[in-house]
Structure 1
Amino acid sequence: MSEHEATKRIWKRLPGTKGIRFFEHAIRKHNRRPDRYFSVRWTRNGRDVEEGIGWSSEGWQTDTIIDARHTLQKNYKRGLTPSTFAELREEQEKQRRAREAADAAENVQAMTFREFFERYYVPWKRDRRKRRTWLDDLKRANHRIFPFMGDLPLDAITSELLEEYMDELYADGLADGTVLHHIAIVRSVFNRAANTTVHGVKVFPGVSPVDGIELPRSDNPRTRYLTRDEADLLLQSCREREADAPRESIAASWRDLHDAIVLSLNTGLRLGEIQRLEWADLNFFGQTLTVRQMRDRKPGGTVPLNKVVTDMLKGRLAVRDKSTPLVFVPKGAGRYRKISHMFRDLVLELGLNADVTDSSQKLVFHSLRHSFASWLALAGVDIYRIKTLMRHKTITMTMRYAHLIPDASRGAVELLCAPPAASPKVLYLHHAKTADGPVY
């Protein structure tokens, strides 16, 4: 049977309706019945016209047709659109394309650094550069870049995270030139992402985070740490903004920032470690948390928790989102960025970086980790214990805090200002028999 014969139009009126009719396909079935094509007869601009609707296999059924016709008739009388099934199909198609575009945009903008690097950056560079160049980039990315930021969405990688990344490279003993090589790769990836369009959506429409950093010199590491008053001001400001927030989502963001500050100040955790922290990493009985040892990442280990942190984490546990293992739950791709950006904006608002011209001495989220170590040093904790708590690979990185540890040197030189003590009496052994008491 030919297609023409299969679709021979024997029109029938749709029972229970007025002006709606159909014919059946001789071969094609839908829900075990012949597929039906529907049409409607109505008056438009003073003329009786018939308009095709569509097949039942396309979703058209008696109730949907009646409802749609009723809506279209009302629109026609009011001079609104859509007022015909053709206009309705056109509108539905626009909505479908808009949904697909929105889904594509969401998927594209959630693309991780690793995914973009492997799917788009490497093929692009391989086609334009020498083999050795892109192979070197791939080697450096696998060894040091991916472990730090590979699984983060591109728009979650901030200037602050890159500064933390550079601190870790220097802590591993890398020279300035090597650090520059790694940052150059990151810069190139973001530049490429800004010029790459996938499904009509630009992969990275923002400003490259590399543009917001200055490479620190190896002899000028970041040493700024908070005073106790500055820390109290930050935490109190977070609590006030949480209380005054107009919506729960905003209040939750300030609560996250407050708790992240508390956690870093009392444990020395890095921002990335806080972001990756899971409830399974916590041991409330032993009052410790575990930073997991991951390939090519900074050293993991067990971190002791004081009462302040324990109470804070128990409070979060009571209201945790059980659908995720994360302690700090990201709400979409931008959530990671929000903590660091909120901290930056709060510091700016409070004037904690006022009159600071050296970018390496500006207060950033990573300064909380420096504050943890500095406070330990000021409290007299020995340098090797600080190294353990900071999980440094070598003592070299920890020695930046050594000058803060109180020592006996000042007391020793102050002895020179004291009056000379009386010369002690010398007792010779042959006089021992006249001395008071025994001689040892």
Structure 2
Amino acid sequence: MAYVNSKKYGASVQLYTKINGDISYYITYKDETNKLKRAKIGDKSKGVNEHFCFQKRNEIVHKIQLGEDPLIGKKKKTKTTFKDIYNDYIIWAKGNKKSWCKDEQFFKNHLVSFHNKNVVDIKPKDFEDLKQEKLKILSIRTVEYMFAVARQIINHALKNELIKNYTNPLSGGIVKIPKPDNSKIAFLSKEQATNLLKKLQDENNTLYNLTTILLDTGARFIEIASLNWNDINMTNRLIYFKATKKGNARYVYMSDRVYNILSSLERISNLIFPSSNLKQRLQMPKQWQEIVDELIIGNKTINKYRITTHSLRHTHASWLALGGADILQIKEQLGHKKLDMTLRYAHLIPSRRHDLIKEVFSA
């Protein structure tokens, strides 16, 4: 957006419309050296208007004409903290991002050390130190998303001129953001899955239900968490998963145990698996990972091969591949937008190439 001259005061007062719809007011004037200056007076959301800006401009111009320094008496600029720019970002996110709840959660839980820091004082090394600290306790995928949220918050602040003369350390490769190795997948064996489901069924029925539907549909956790009863067709035993940023829309057939679970659930909310406050779940309860780590020896320290909630999706796809499903069937089942994402399971599909050669070219 460009600076727009006031209809009433001309170029003396200028308006700048920010992405969030708020308007910033600026004044222009010539200093004692006859150099044109532009200064921000404030935002419309803070009660600033064109008339107030024009009055402030007159005060500054009058001081310059008298040979006085117009900046004397000006309050010292206060610092803009990371929390300040987040507060502006989350207002925008709530109106523009479906995943704003997740962003809010990551800011509160994983970016706490930056909350009260002056943004322009945050250096690349600060993010490097945070990365090393978080990689000790969080998965690579979680740290990747955490940095993505931080990058978006800073970019939002730069676009809306909440901060100036600052280069985002998380853009342009300044700080290397960890990327999960998607070629490496961890999945449960049939025996491990059976033992896990049995333990969950004995200890926590909610975790059992979530695990079963994740395992038997291959859906992402966010897709299960956002499922509502309108997406369920019990007559035809189909579940409809809506299109997301990462996945295509699709219908998935219910296994017998998924059908039985859905048939037995009490409809206390439009969501099928609401949290205790009847809102959408943001993640699998922590108890699930604790149970898995206890059940599978060494799982907690195995890093990229650790069984996590997302491994249930890998397990579903891997079992399909081992069962003989072709790569396009697996792609459709998982809702992958690109075939490249599905090819990681190709090596598990039993090869009939040699058998086909014998059949086609036999004498």
TM-score range, shorter chain: 0.5 to 0.7
TM-score normalised by L of structure 2 = 0.53
Identity among equivalent pairs (%): 23
Summarize the Cα distance change of 1:149–1:349 in structure 2 as closer, same or farther, 3 Å threshold.
farther
Distance in 2 between the 1:313 and 1:353 partners?
A: 34
Q: Does 1:182 align with 2:148?
A: yes
- Which residue identity does 1:350 align to in structure 2? L
Q: Does 1:362 align with 2:275?
A: no
Gaps of 5+ in 1: 1-122, 167-178, 190-213, 242-253, 416-420, 425-440
Larger helix percent? 1
Deviation at 1:215, TM superposition (A): 2.9
Note the 1:174-213 alignment, pairs <5 A.
182-185=148-151
Deviation digits for residues 85-130 of structure 1, max 9, x if unmatched? Answer: xxxxxxxxxxxxxxxxxxxxxxxxxxxxxxxxxxxxxx9xx9749x
Deviation at 1:165, TM superposition (A): 9.6
Distance in 2 between the 1:238 and 1:180 partners?
A: 29
Gaps of 5+ in 2: 1-44, 46-77, 111-136, 156-176
CA contact (8 A) 1:148 1:165 kept: no
Note the 1:330-409 alignment, pairs <5 A.
330-332=275-277, 336=281, 339-354=284-299, 356-357=301-302, 359-409=303-353
- The one of 301, 304, 324 equivalent to 2:253 is 304
* Residue in structure 1 matched with residue 57 of structure 2 by the alignment: none
Deviation at 1:152, TM superposition (A): 7.3
Deviation at 1:150, TM superposition (A): 3.5
- Which residue identity does 1:215 align to in structure 2? P
CA contact (8 A) 2:103 2:149 kept: no
TM-score normalised by L of structure 1 = 0.44
Summarize the Cα distance change of 1:263–1:161 in structure 2 as closer, same or farther, 3 Å threshold.
farther
Deviation at 1:329, TM superposition (A): 1.9
Partner SS state of residue 345, structure 2: helix
Deviation digits for residues 28-49 of structure 1, max 9, x if unmatched? Answer: xxxxxxxxxxxxxxxxxxxxxx
Distance in 1 between the 2:323 and 2:147 partners?
A: 39
- Which residue identity does 1:257 align to in structure 2? L
Deviation digits for residues 242-283 of structure 1, max 9, x if unmatched? Answer: xxxxxxxxxxxx111101111011101111111111111100
CA contact (8 A) 2:246 2:336 kept: no
Deviation at 1:181, TM superposition (A): 5.7
Summarize the Cα distance change of 1:343–1:368 in structure 2 as closer, same or farther, 3 Å threshold.
same
Distance in 2 between the 1:237 and 1:348 partners?
A: 13
Q: Does 1:163 align with 2:151?
A: no
Deviation at 1:375, TM superposition (A): 0.3
Deviation at 1:337, TM superposition (A): 6.0
Partner SS state of residue 226, structure 1: coil
- Which residue identity does 1:311 align to in structure 2? N
Distance in 2 between the 1:364 and 1:163 partners?
A: 11
Distance in 2 between the 1:165 and 1:310 partners?
A: 35
- The one of 229, 248, 273 equivalent to 2:223 is 273
Deviation at 1:138, TM superposition (A): 6.0
CA contact (8 A) 1:347 1:353 kept: no
CA contact (8 A) 1:160 1:340 kept: no
- Which residue identity does 1:182 align to in structure 2? A
Partner SS state of residue 99, structure 2: helix
- The one of 258, 280, 287 equivalent to 2:208 is 258
Deviation digits for residues 300-342 of structure 1, max 9, x if unmatched? Answer: 22222122211111111xx332xx2011121139983673312
Deviation digits for residues 127-150 of structure 1, max 9, x if unmatched? Answer: 749xxxx79x969x969x933354
CA contact (8 A) 1:239 1:255 kept: yes
